[in-house]
Amino acid sequence: MKRNVRQDTKAHATDTPVRQVVSWRFFFPGAMPRQEEGVERGSTRLDNRAIQVAESDRSMSNPKPDDTLECTLPSADTKGVMPQKQPERARHVYARVLLVFVPTAFGLTAMAFLLYITGALDPLISMAETARLWALGAGEALDVTGMEPGWDWLTRWYRADMLCLVALALLASATPVACAFASVQYFRRREWALGIIASVQVIILAIAMSGLVVAE
Amino acid sequence: MTAKRFRHILFVAILVLAVFAVAQTPGAEEAVSNTALPAWGWAALLFLFCLGIGILAVMAGVGGGVLFVPFVGTLFPFHMDFVRGASLFVALAGAVTASAGLMRKDLTFPRLVLPLSVTSSAAAIAGAMVGLALPESTLRILLGIAIMGICLVMILTKRSEFPEVRKQDALARALGVAGSYFEPSTDSKISWQAHRLPVAIVLFIGIGFLAGMFGLGAGWANVPVINLVVGAPLKVAVSSSLFVVSISDTAPAFIYLNSGAVLPLIAVPSVLGMMLGSRIGVRVMTRSRPKVVRYFVISLLALAGVMSLLKGLGAF
């Protein structure tokens, strides 16, 4: 028991200078000394915690390429006392978009296919007709069904088979949407090169999605 | 190999061969138009077949798309346009689902993936356009050759768990392509950095083109390039490969969709069967020898490649 009390006291003693370093740096990032200096000044006894906080402090001013420890900022609820380790924001946003899109798309796909095979919703092309079409090429199949290349399938979403295509398209849309959100995050963090690369990626995927590029 | 492991592999092999036997019954293609086997029957058969492929793919550590196209293209009476369209959605569904989980485990690094996926996806659009413009027989011949080449790549390339990278190239340094992740097996944090990024970008142009043209997932090429050329650890390479597939296959998937090359009756059972199969495969994998299964799958893949080549030449 005594040992625990002593440990707490020691932690409290080293907390105060560290807290000063972090809070000063938060408000006046340009005017603050380098974090190594801060550690030396702030804590005469360099314990592990002081080093840890100082390292977090360094990543605040000079973002590291390391994606895991990249965005290290003081959290609002602790009022800048202890910086919290956060994953890269762009990656976090990207994953969240996928986690919203993918289950929704899979659910919709399964539901639409159920409506299709049970005949609960009328298809545009019956299953028997589909069996004749699948031996033809894509272009010939479009000619037979009278559909246009491009987004014609979306305008007939109320048909069971086209609803299946809408669901599959939703699944494929997850990535471009996630990339768009990620590019915004990169620009916000002033990581121009990655922001531009992510934006170019979105443009390429948008061109593919647009229906302007189709095989006749 | 224990009797239990042998039974698992045998079951999957029998499932695949049973579908093969049904599909190759004389007059099977005519039966479709004569509705001897109804369309939903083919869809059910496709679902079962993809279930088997999904199990094998996970156990062998290969993507579903690379198995799907040669097998389904050869064994089922579908035009290659629809097979490739469905395959892209199969690969995409698996990759997108896995990417979301891997990102949360800090194993995927957008800094590494984005420069590669940009060129790969642009090339995949070109590949899709070329693939849809080629006659089916030519495409089958090229696919057969490509599949045999893939088998060679799978056999010959050695993987490195933690490649040594002494110095980053200028582009990798400018983009900050480096990272770290926690490795539970060694209970330590693994730091890594990339090199030869421009070389990898050029290689991904070719990989993307092949992926778009043949509707393949391209994990077979992504992993060795990211692991051996870029110098990322194997775990990072595998997760980054899935991430690249999820982006670069999106572009040709929409090209195929907008060109009328996606039939729900083929695409949806394939996606659902493969997803279910890969889940089962993950469970079975812990009780099997990956190396044995891998060589078994490579042998099957080589057989499918030969069959595709012969079918393209009109000899099968």
Q: Read off the pLDDT of residues B5-32 as tens digits, 9 standing for 90 and up.
A: 556 665 665 665 555 555 544 444 444 4
State the pLDDT at residue B20. 53
- Please provide the average confidence, as pLDDT, over all residues in chain B: 84
Q: Which residues contact A103 (CB under 8 A, 6 or more apart)?
A: none
> With contacts defined as CB-CB under 8 Å, which chain A residues touch B85?
138
Phi, psi values for residue A81, rounded to 5°: -75, -55
Which of A55, A68, A210 would best serve as a mutation to test chain B binding (most B beta carbons within 10 A)? A68
Say yes or no for a CB contact (<8 Å) between B250 and A205: yes
Phi, psi values for residue B157, rounded to 5°: -75, 130
Window from A79-88, A103-112, B77-86, B225-234 with minimum mean pLDDT: A79-88
The partner residue sitting opposite B92, judged by closest CB among A66, A153, A171, is: A171
Which has more confidence, B162 or B106?
B162
- Which residue in chain A has the smallest CA separation from B97? A102
Mean pLDDT of B108-134: 93
> With contacts defined as CB-CB under 8 Å, which chain A residues touch B261?
138, 215
- The structure tokens 């030519």 sit at B138
Judge contact between B22 and B41, C-beta under 8 A: no
Return the SS3 of B35.
Answer: coil
State the pLDDT at residue B159. 76
Mean pLDDT of A32-40: 37
Mean pLDDT of A24-45: 37
H or E stretch at A89: helix A89-118
Mean pLDDT of A138-153: 90
CA A195 to chain B, closest CA, distance in angstroms equals: 10
Say yes or no for a CB contact (<8 Å) between B96 and A135: no
- Please provide the average confidence, as pLDDT, over all residues in chain A: 70
Residue type, A151: W
Which of B173, B190, B195, B268 would best serve as a mutation to test chain A binding (most A beta carbons within 10 A)? B268
State the pLDDT at residue B8. 62
Mean pLDDT of A154-167: 94
CB crowding B98-128: b at 16 or more within 10 Å, else e: bbbbbbbebbbbbbbbbbbbbbbbbbbbbbb
* C-alpha distance from residue B266 to each of A41, A52, A190, B269 (Å): 69, 55, 45, 6
pLDDT at B195 over 80: yes
Which of B96, B106, B244, B276 would best serve as a mutation to test chain A binding (most A beta carbons within 10 A)? B96
- Which residue in chain A has the smallest CA separation from B248? A205
H or E stretch at B179: strand B178-183
- Which residue in chain A has the smallest CA separation from B192? A66
